[in-house]
Amino acid sequence: MTPPPRWPCLTDLGDGGSALMVSVQPGAKRTEAVGLHDGALRVRLAAVPVDGRANEAMVAWLAGQLALPRRAIEIRQGASSRRKRLVIDAPVASVSDWLDRLGLSR
């Protein structure tokens, strides 16, 4: 059994993939991760929540941050909600390292 991840918003899926819980605030001035909120990574998005633009922006931003293709990230739950579960085709260690580099408090 693997030890729990260092971040409460991150889950090891056991198949080389990870799940990340995010709490999205669309319509912000700029796109950025700002901390944790209720066990999820709080992300402010510059995109508005119209016609899926915020979801597309969330996936594109996270893919860019993790240096992954967009197809490596899927919104598994919460497509029409502020709280989302993203499945990422990357090891939990690399996502956790990225979270560490953001310099957010846990």
Global pTM? 0.91
Specify the pLDDT at position 103: 85
Specify the pLDDT at position 96: 93
In this prediction, what percent of the chain has a pLDDT beyond 70?
93
Separation CA 89–CA 106 (nearest Å): 23
Relative to beta strand 18-25, strand 40-44 is parallel
What is the per-residue pLDDT across 45-68, written as a single tens digit (0 to 9) for each?
999 988 889 999 999 999 999 999
Nearest-10 crossing angle of helices 92-102, 53-66:
90
C-alpha distances out from residue 81 to 17, 23, 28, 97, 106, Å: 23, 9, 16, 27, 23
Which residues, given as ranges, of the chain have pLDDT below 70? 1-5, 105-106
Specify the pLDDT at position 104: 80
